[in-house]
Structure 1
Amino acid sequence: MTTQKEFGFGTQIRKSPYFDATVRWGAKDFSVYNHMYIPRDFGNPVENFWNLVNHAILCDVAVERQVEITGPDAAKFVQLLTPRDLSKCAVGQCKYVLLTNAEGGILNDPILLRLAENHFWISLADSDVLFWAQGVAVNSGLDVTICEPDVSPLQLQGPKSGEVMQALFGDSITDLKYYWLQEYDLDGIPLIVSRTGWSSELGYELYLRDNSKGDELWEKIMTAGQPFGLQPGHTSSIRRIEGGMLSYHADMDIKTNPYELGMDRLIDLNADFHFIGKPALQKVRQDGVSRRHVGLIIDGPAITGSNTRYWPLESEGQQIGKVTSAIFSPRLEKNIALAMVDTEFAPTGTVLKVKTPNGDITATVAEKPFFDPKKQLAAS
């Protein structure tokens, strides 16, 4: 008799409704994200990458907790949290947004979903936005209700994901546009489905609205996906760095402002609405930034795994930045990385020195994303 491996730090770290299913399907290791377990290892990460880019993978991302905002002033309140103009965000639409504090620092970079005129979800990266939003609401004078609903997303990502979704939902699912959502009932399982995902590939997110049906949903998707090569998997660091996708706490944090990341398109300082951090970001725009986030090509042999700490970047013996995320891309056959550097070292082609645990290596500033720069795969 085989004993199932136990994972646990105590009941204070929550398990998703898919936890047992992921262990059955081969999850070997977990990390903690938004106070929950997230599968990080189903075996070989390179195999996981090829499964993603050639076929499809199913990922437990229930750690993407939802902050639900409802009430007569819900739209006004959500606009208060972000510098992106939401005046044209229609019901059924999703938007990638930044949430900023009074200093213009980034608190989170979630996906915003508009389910109804006064009903929003903020689908989170790794930080406690529920507490932030509830705190802001207390002093806002706006009539809103803010809570964490019973919602747990899965990501179905990869070029075959559309065919898996057709097997599950029928041909009408192909009408769902990129960054839009639709409500579905899948054999009694209540879902919101969106054409979004954290992979830079064609993909969908399925937001389960009844955690008692987590195991049933996981098995139903895996069964439907068998003819298309669907595999259980985890979010791919290789693919997300290829795509220049940023990871909160790694590539940005509360001390990072959107201009340093080149995310000017997500800031509307000229529109007639107020948001938290607007005066600070007006000053940043006026004064300019002292550092910028860039891509790097790192010389030398293939990096094993990914960096678990920031690697210093130097020029002529002076530290001028840090590598925030680094990986070897088997498709590009290069070590690729994301980094924050002083602005004078940000131009493409600048040569720098990376101080790694295995010694100093030369790196060159490069354009990002490294692959499919126009995101044609994800939007297809």
Structure 2
Amino acid sequence: MTLNESNFALTDDVDSVIPDPRILLYPRLRKSPFFWASRQHGVAMYSVYNHMYHPRHYGDPVAEYWALLQGVTLWDVGVERQIEITGPDAFAFTNMLVPRDLHKCEVGQCKYVFMTGEDGGILNDPVLLRLGENHFWLSLADSDILLWTRGLAHNSGMDVTIEEADVGPVQVQGPLSGQVMAAVFGPEVLDIGYYRLKEYVIGGMEVIVSRTGYTAELGFEIYVKHASRDGVRLWEAVWAAGEPLGMQVIGPCHMRRIEAGILSHGCDITYQTNPFEVGMGYEWMVDLKQESDFIGKAALTRIKRQGVTRRLVGVHIGGSPLGTFNDGSMIEAFPVWRSRHRVGEVTSACFSPRLERNIGYAMVPVELSEIGTELEVETTAGVVPAVVVPKPFVDPAKNTPKQPFSVGNGHLPKAN
């Protein structure tokens, strides 16, 4: 049974299917600290992320893509909950949670990390912020890590305190982001290094600014403390600085993150995938040589020794243009076929406006992961040809987000 046949079999009357059913707004689901502020900009679609409403786009995801590449954008990412770990044993406990060696993470530095289970599966992929010797935030993707870390701490014998901090992040992304940030925080904010952070107090609001983002573009994240009190006020301050520069409020730009090789937890990485399968088993990301133990170390050591049987690859996908991924056009993973056998699935896919072609990630057997391997992908429009290609699709060395900031930054990076 094909993808289209299986979908059709769910109903006898295809005319009864509502293609874009509404999402219910009501008290049970939590609201971002910026919910009411971002709503004023015309949210067109929400999803649920970490049990909270999350704006996905504001009506035209393609226009949002170009605003990100050419100007400056503001995102409500308050759904990225901050798990705060403190106490005398906070370093040892946090180091146990992740395969990266946090002895190599300085105070004032951020790290992209995996959190792995005993079997090596990826439970979450947060950005870790080290605020002090024994003070960490985990800026979470979409899974229940607060419950996981509290459960681990309960019987660990370690002296740690684990809370969900009253902190909300917003992202300011795009080539003109430096001008907005300089207007809010002063020109010295442009000196913050890539994946570094700095604390500020502005207008009585305590914030942490980091040189991070979900775009592989120039940009920052601003984490406001006491977000339930100051979140809207911070939003308004950033918007006031950005509006004269044509700032646009957008949702997460999945077209750009797919171009950049940025993975999405729940799609490309899950509890059932490990770092080696998704091509991120780098020695610095999964440090099996470190003296410290971490959850999943034995399993990942075994997986590296034995090798994996499947791998996440980049694919060019034929056929008519796909959607933007955050527009409801990809309800399920797309089946991947080879010689009339289903061999894998496309986990994320979109039409890239810059590359003018369909691109995506596919989990396939190792023997089908070589560059140039021809496959078939079953999209909602039917079965179309596909081919394995290198990823990331654009700027593979991540030169764009790492470049030095200047107030006048405003170029459009070239595609590779």
Tell me which interval the TM-score lies in, with the shorter structure as reference length: over 0.9
Give the SS at the match of 2:104. coil
Task: For residue 228 of structure 1, report the CA deviation from its aligned partner.
Answer: 2.0
Match of 1:336 among 356, 359, 373: 359
Between 1:30-39 and 1:212-221, the stretch displaced more is 212-221
Indicate the residue corresponding to 2:292 in structure 1. Answer: 273
Indicate the residue corresponding to 1:237 in structure 2. Answer: 254
Task: For residue 8 of structure 1, report the CA deviation from its aligned partner.
Answer: 4.0
- Count of matched residue pairs: 375
Identity of matched residues, %: 50
TM-score for both structures, normalised by structure 2: 0.89
Paired with 2:349 and 2:104, the residues of 1 have a C-alpha distance of 37
Give the SS at the match of 1:75. helix
Indicate the residue corresponding to 1:22 in structure 2. Answer: 38
Task: For residue 138 of structure 1, report the CA deviation from its aligned partner.
Answer: 1.2
Match of 1:360 among 367, 378, 383: 383
Q: Give the counterpart letter for 1:279 in structure 2.
A: A
Task: For residue 305 of structure 1, report the CA deviation from its aligned partner.
Answer: 3.6
Indicate the residue corresponding to 2:277 in structure 1. Answer: 260
For structure 1, the residue ranges without an aligned partner over 5 or more in a row are 1-5
Q: Give the counterpart letter for 2:197 in structure 1.
A: L
Q: Give the counterpart letter for 1:64 in structure 2.
A: E
Query: After superposition, where does 1:8-19 map in structure 2 within 5 Å?
Result: 8-19=24-35
Indicate the residue corresponding to 2:312 in structure 1. Answer: 293
Query: After superposition, where does 1:73-92 map in structure 2 within 5 Å?
Result: 73-92=89-108
Q: Give the counterpart letter for 1:234 in structure 2.
A: G
Counterpart contact for 2:254–2:324, Cα < 8 Å: no
For structure 2, the residue ranges without an aligned partner over 5 or more in a row are 1-21, 404-416
Paired with 1:355 and 1:171, the residues of 2 have a C-alpha distance of 50
Indicate the residue corresponding to 2:396 in structure 1. Answer: 373
Q: Does 1:215 align with 2:239?
A: no
Counterpart contact for 2:84–2:138, Cα < 8 Å: yes
Paired with 2:23 and 2:381, the residues of 1 have a C-alpha distance of 32
Paired with 1:171 and 1:44, the residues of 2 have a C-alpha distance of 32
Indicate the residue corresponding to 1:3 in structure 2. Answer: none
Give the SS at the match of 2:371. coil
Return closer, same or farther for 1:308/1:7 CA change in 2, 3 Å cut-off.
Answer: closer
Q: Does 1:144 align with 2:160?
A: yes
> RMSD between aligned alpha carbons?
1.1
Indicate the residue corresponding to 2:349 in structure 1. Answer: 326
Indicate the residue corresponding to 1:226 in structure 2. Answer: 243
Indicate the residue corresponding to 1:171 in structure 2. Answer: 187
Indicate the residue corresponding to 1:56 in structure 2. Answer: 72
TM-score for both structures, normalised by structure 1: 0.97
Q: Give the counterpart letter for 2:266 in structure 1.
A: H
Give the SS at the match of 2:276. helix
Q: Give the counterpart letter for 1:252 in structure 2.
A: I
Give the SS at the match of 1:69. strand
Counterpart contact for 2:57–2:252, Cα < 8 Å: no
Q: Does 1:43 align with 2:59?
A: yes
Q: Give the counterpart letter for 1:262 in structure 2.
A: G
Paired with 2:338 and 2:24, the residues of 1 have a C-alpha distance of 44
Q: Does 1:251 align with 2:251?
A: no
Paired with 1:350 and 1:177, the residues of 2 have a C-alpha distance of 39
Q: State the Cα deviation string for residues 1-43 of structure 1 (Å, max 9, x = none).
A: xxxxx97443221111211111111112211000001111211
Task: For residue 227 of structure 1, report the CA deviation from its aligned partner.
Answer: 2.6
Indicate the residue corresponding to 1:160 in structure 2. Answer: 176
